[in-house]
């Protein structure tokens, strides 16, 4: 990677998982820059973060968007945009269609969201004619966070794509997260399926789903993970809380992955951690043939986007088997 020093490259040699951004970028070191399409790069956040990731040697971007706008932003940043490939597109939906076709033709290995609504970005990707769907898999989103009071990076899924997933969708959500975890860390993750309580009750359908998902893991319908649930958040994260409630679990106190019951619970949990606890976080859409770097436009943090690019690089370059 480049040794160019700037405010976005502090502690990049750190191997400490608690320093999440540096940790993820460190994992991506050693791989050649990944060719990516920045989809409708008409906003300064996606444009600047992609340029910084390129300077670090993480990605090799193709910018799709309004050329005149990108040239103006480039001038403001004192950067020569002409060193990168540019595809002039004034319409965000058309930009997404162009990017999807490039991914289908293997011209790019990942997509980065620019100034485009998430639904408009994802629509051509999930289309049955896109060539990017994987048989029997659903697309889902994974956040990776580093909390001050937790001893390792924590995956949270799905807080951005699937609104109220049914049982089969949750199978894909869990398997996608497991596959991503293994591609980065090369070991079986511990997976906690979260609900409001740790006992199975028909009054809370998420607890019934959790029990079924554990049995499906035993039967090999979910593989390469240690799965337990339902677990309330406290006895998932805290071994002491689990013991006090009489919960015996290999996962309690040491999960690598938290599975939310629905998008409302997952999204609120993530944003509470980000905005009230000031944790570091990065995210990626998985389950398609190429990853999609997708972060909220309200979360304008350059390092979060760069770390998300690093996740995509590690995912695409590492074998998903153990």
Least confident of 40-49, 122-131, 158-167, 271-280: 271-280
**What predicted TM-score, i.e. pTM, was given to this entire model?**
0.91
Report the helix count and the strand count for the chain, using DSSP H and E: 11, 11
pLDDT, average across residues 17-40: 90
At 205-215, the pLDDT tens digits run 999 999 999 99
Q: 301 pLDDT band (50/70/90 cuts)?
A: confident
Please compute, for residue 237, the number of CA atoms within 13 A of its CA located in the half-sphere on the CB side: 16
| Average pLDDT for the chain | 91
pLDDT at site 7: 40
d(CA 81, CA 270): 34
β-pairing, 292-293 vs 110-113, is parallel
Q: Which domains does the chain have, with CATH numbers?
A: 134-287 (3.40.718.10)
pLDDT, average across residues 280-287: 93
pLDDT at site 38: 98
| Neighbour tally for 186: CB within 10 Å | 12
């Amino acid at each position: 990677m480049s040794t160019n020093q700037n405010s976005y490259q502090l502690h990049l040699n750190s191997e400490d998982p608690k320093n999440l951004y540096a940790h993820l970028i460190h994992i991506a070191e050693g791989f050649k820059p990944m060719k990516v399409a920045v989809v409708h790069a008409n906003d300064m956040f996606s444009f600047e973060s992609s340029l910084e990731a390129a300077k670090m040697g993480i990605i090799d971007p193709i910018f799709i968007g309004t050329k005149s706008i990108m040239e103006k932003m480039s001038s403001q940043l004192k950067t020569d945009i002409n060193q990168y490939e540019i595809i002039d597109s004034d319409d965000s939906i058309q930009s997404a269609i162009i990017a999807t076709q490039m991914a289908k033709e293997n011209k790019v290995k990942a997509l980065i969201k620019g100034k485009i609504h998430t639904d408009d970005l994802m629509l051509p990707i999930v289309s049955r004619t896109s060539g990017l769907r994987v048989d029997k898999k659903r697309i889902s989103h994974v956040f990776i966070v580093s909390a001050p009071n937790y001893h390792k990076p924590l995956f949270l899924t799905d807080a951005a794509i699937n609104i109220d997933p049914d049982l089969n969708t949750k199978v894909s959500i869990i398997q996608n997260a497991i596959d991503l975890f293994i591609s980065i860390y090369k070991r079986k993750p511990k997976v906690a399926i979260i609900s409001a309580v740790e006992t199975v009750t028909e009054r809370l359908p998420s607890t019934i789903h959790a029990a079924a998902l554990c049995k499906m893991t035993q039967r090999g319908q979910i593989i390469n993970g240690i799965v337990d649930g339902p677990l309330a958040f406290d006895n998932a994260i805290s071994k002491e809380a689990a013991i006090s409630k009489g919960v015996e679990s290999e996962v309690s106190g040491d999960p690598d992955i938290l599975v939310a019951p629905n998008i409302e619970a997952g999204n609120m949990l993530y944003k509470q951690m980000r905005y009230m606890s000031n944790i570091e976080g990065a995210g990626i859409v998985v389950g398609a043939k190429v990853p999609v770097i997708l972060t909220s436009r309200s979360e304008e943090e350059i390092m979060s986007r760069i770390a998300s690019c690093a996740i995509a690089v590690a995912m695409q370059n590492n074998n998903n088997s153990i």
